[in-house]
Structure 1
Amino acid sequence: MRGRVFIIGLGLIGGSLALSIKKLHQDSVLVGYDINDEQARLGKMLGVVDETVSSIKEGAETADLILIAAPVNETGRILASLPKMNLKNNVIISDAGSTKKEIVKMAAGLKESGNVFIGGHPMAGSHKSGVQAAKAILFENAFYLLTPEAHIPEEAIATLQRWLAGTNARFITVTPDEHDHLTGVISHFPHIIAASLVHQAEKSSESQKLIPRLAAGGFRDITRIASSSPEMWRDILIHNNDVLLSLLEDWQVEMERVKSLLQMADKDDIFSYFLGAKQFRDELPQKQKGAIPAFYDLFVDVPDYPGVISEITGYLAKEKISITNISIRETREEINGVLVISFQTEEDRDRAMDCIQNHTNFDQTIGM
């Protein structure tokens, strides 16, 4: 396909969408805008976009496709401004936000002006941010939810999917209400629980000073998502308010069930509770990307001698294996420490395992 694609928001998501479109539609022109001038400058310098503009109006009025990759509140303001512009008659407009019901409502002005808006949500991300972290493969095998209203022509939906075919994502069409319930259950609500666990630990640490030290291991791992952007989650919770209030009520019922199990102290019932959770969790797809970015961690038992960490990272560098994060669990004299290395993809982690195995005799395990 040939045309002008306007990306509003040159962060990780917007930049990755631009790269995936550029990969497949090489005759198209990618135009970028970001409220942060430095992000826009980097986007052009890195070749993520071909051109940048100094205003949304400048880029939108010549575009055949407009993709909004901005925070949900900012997306609403952008959608409200677009009908006041002289857009092309056949332009398709979509977004990449984590909530949909309110966003679709905010796009009502586009419907009135005869323009096509199709809500979108590529369900993939990364622990890095900014256009410099953008990758054309970010959405590969990820679910990409589209939430067109009933009046949107099938051809428009098909055209948007053709533009986005370079993502190699799996497109699913749902209603805005369905989208918000689905993402509420598997993404938004887990973030609330993770933040709540951290708050509970913080409160307990006031009287139990060992908690921060002991929480450095598994607790830190299962609450990683609590480190996500507070601004982003503030906006998501406000936009998906009704769904999350309903899920909180369900959660209270679930916790009452657990409380009852503890009060009854029935060994078989408690065992069955954890067995049921394990069985359902073990049956979840392992190779598919979901709403929460996966953590591809490798745990390496390393002896405590000078240079051991640079030795391992040196092996990985020689194989051109990129890492996204690295941390060390406590190391003490004559006791192996644990080096935790995080990767962007499962493939990178598997390559790293082979690399370390070929050069050392250190034990390794993967994060589950």
Structure 2
Amino acid sequence: MKLKIGFIGLGLIGGSIAKAIRQYYPDCQLVAFDKNKETLALATLESCVDVAVASIDENFRNCRYIFLCAPVSCNTAYLKQLKEYLQEGCILTDVGSVKTNIHQEVKKLDMEEFFIGGHPMAGSEKSGYPNSRAMIIENAYYILTPTPRVSEQEIQAFSSFIESLKALPVILDYEEHDRITGTISHLPHIIASTLVNYVKDSDTRDELMKQLAAGGFKDITRIASSSPTMWQHICLKNRENISDILSQYIGALNHAKEIIDNGDEQGIYNLFDSSRNYRNSIPDSSAGPIKKVFAVYCDIIDEAGGIATIATILASNNINIKNIGIIHNREFEEGVLRIEFYEEASSTKAAELLQKYRYIVYER
């Protein structure tokens, strides 16, 4: 029989996984439900989806895999509707960044033999199916949290399937997953959002902070542009872990304040030296929970047509630019141009090409 896969929700992640499956398994049958009719229409028009349905019905029977890709708070509500369509040989999975709640609901509904929790640690500040792309999950860690009742054979089969989509499967206990993602994903988003709000509330009447907050500030707070609804759901579903992690982080901030208050030269140096060394040890080979930005910075002569010249060089070599602009407030010298790309290969090729044309390129 033809491989049949179901999707509940076709947002950024659901759409990206569906497109990756279509790319690597062009003959499979994809069935999708989404509350947004325009999303279903677009997915059908693009031939990403074979069957678009207005409700969860018989079309989901005999699926090999069913992906729950609705918001975290909605996925658990769909479990009851899907239960009657699950049978031996079907694996139900989700893509939420919080796992405890859905695992508890799966156990309550006696669906553990079918469920392997999932979390592709990839994404974008943009949301929705129109922004989905197959390559979003490429080289991204894809956490799998199987229940104790799923057979080892099924776990290995699903792990191999995820790997075939060019993602990097990692198997974890669901509680350990929530603690880890709370620290490396949820906390940074809260820090970025509170930092932006602090600057907003502290700004001068003529908004000088906003005017000058380019370059580095925009880089470290980029994730504050993510979906407020999504992060509202995440914080509510993982609130106990997040609260505990925040308490510990506040302690770290208080320590930083203490060594600065005391003028502790060695302590201050150690703060920045330790963080630099640890950050530099983090590999660039795979995507984490926060999407990596592929950007090149280069000196540019302050004259008419300077940006156009660089854009022409890149375009003539078939390199697509995602975003481009001069950084006015930065650690670089004057006239630094920031060019952002869609993938690492384009960024690397662009840097080599600009250096060939004798532009000074900075690595960050």
Segments of 5+ residues of structure 2 without an aligned counterpart are none
Equivalent residue for 2:191?
193
Equivalent residue for 1:30?
30
Equivalent residue for 2:141?
143
Matches within 5 A, 1:1-368: 2-83=2-83, 85-108=84-107, 110-112=109-111, 116-206=114-204, 209-330=207-328, 337-358=335-356, 360-366=357-363, 368=364
The whole-number CA distance in structure 1 between the counterparts of 2:129 and 2:179 is 30
TM-aligned CA deviation for residue 243 of structure 1? 0.6
The whole-number CA distance in structure 2 between the counterparts of 1:106 and 1:306 is 61
Q: How has the CA–CA distance of structure 1 residues 261 and 330 changed in structure 2, closer, same or farther, with 3 Å as cutoff?
A: closer
Letter paired with 1:61: R
TM-aligned CA deviation for residue 54 of structure 1? 2.2
TM-aligned CA deviation for residue 63 of structure 1? 2.1
Contact 1:82 1:110 in 2 (8 A): no
Deviations 1:155-191 (A, max 9, x none): 2212222332322222111111100001011000011
Q: How has the CA–CA distance of structure 1 residues 43 and 314 changed in structure 2, closer, same or farther, with 3 Å as cutoff?
A: farther
Letter paired with 2:362: T
| SS, match of residue 87 in structure 2 | coil
TM-aligned CA deviation for residue 128 of structure 1? 4.1
Deviations 1:106-136 (A, max 9, x none): 2235535x75011000111234443343333
The whole-number CA distance in structure 1 between the counterparts of 2:110 and 2:154 is 13
TM-aligned CA deviation for residue 32 of structure 1? 2.3
TM-aligned CA deviation for residue 14 of structure 1? 1.5
The whole-number CA distance in structure 2 between the counterparts of 1:318 and 1:42 is 31
Letter paired with 1:151: R
Segments of 5+ residues of structure 1 without an aligned counterpart are none
Q: How has the CA–CA distance of structure 1 residues 283 and 205 changed in structure 2, closer, same or farther, with 3 Å as cutoff?
A: same
The whole-number CA distance in structure 1 between the counterparts of 2:125 and 2:70 is 17
Contact 2:125 2:223 in 1 (8 A): no
User: Greater shift after overlay, 93-102 or 264-273?
Assistant: 264-273
Letter paired with 1:103: I
Contact 1:9 1:68 in 2 (8 A): yes
TM-aligned CA deviation for residue 258 of structure 1? 1.3
| SS, match of residue 287 in structure 1 | coil
Identity %: 36
Q: How has the CA–CA distance of structure 1 residues 208 and 270 changed in structure 2, closer, same or farther, with 3 Å as cutoff?
A: farther
Q: How has the CA–CA distance of structure 1 residues 15 and 198 changed in structure 2, closer, same or farther, with 3 Å as cutoff?
A: same
| SS, match of residue 137 in structure 1 | helix
Contact 1:22 1:28 in 2 (8 A): yes
Q: How has the CA–CA distance of structure 1 residues 299 and 23 changed in structure 2, closer, same or farther, with 3 Å as cutoff?
A: same
TM-score, with structure 1 as normaliser: 0.90
User: Greater shift after overlay, 187-196 or 50-59?
Assistant: 50-59
RMSD between aligned residues:
2.3
Letter paired with 1:5: I
Q: What is the total number of aligned residue pairs between the two structures?
A: 361
Letter paired with 1:262: I
User: Greater shift after overlay, 124-133 or 239-248?
Assistant: 124-133
Q: How has the CA–CA distance of structure 1 residues 326 and 68 changed in structure 2, closer, same or farther, with 3 Å as cutoff?
A: farther
TM-aligned CA deviation for residue 192 of structure 1? 0.7
The whole-number CA distance in structure 1 between the counterparts of 2:181 and 2:307 is 39
TM-aligned CA deviation for residue 247 of structure 1? 0.8
User: Greater shift after overlay, 116-125 or 254-263?
Assistant: 254-263
User: Greater shift after overlay, 247-256 or 302-311?
Assistant: 302-311
Contact 2:62 2:90 in 1 (8 A): no
The whole-number CA distance in structure 2 between the counterparts of 1:353 and 1:13 is 30
TM-aligned CA deviation for residue 53 of structure 1? 2.0
TM-score, with structure 2 as normaliser: 0.91
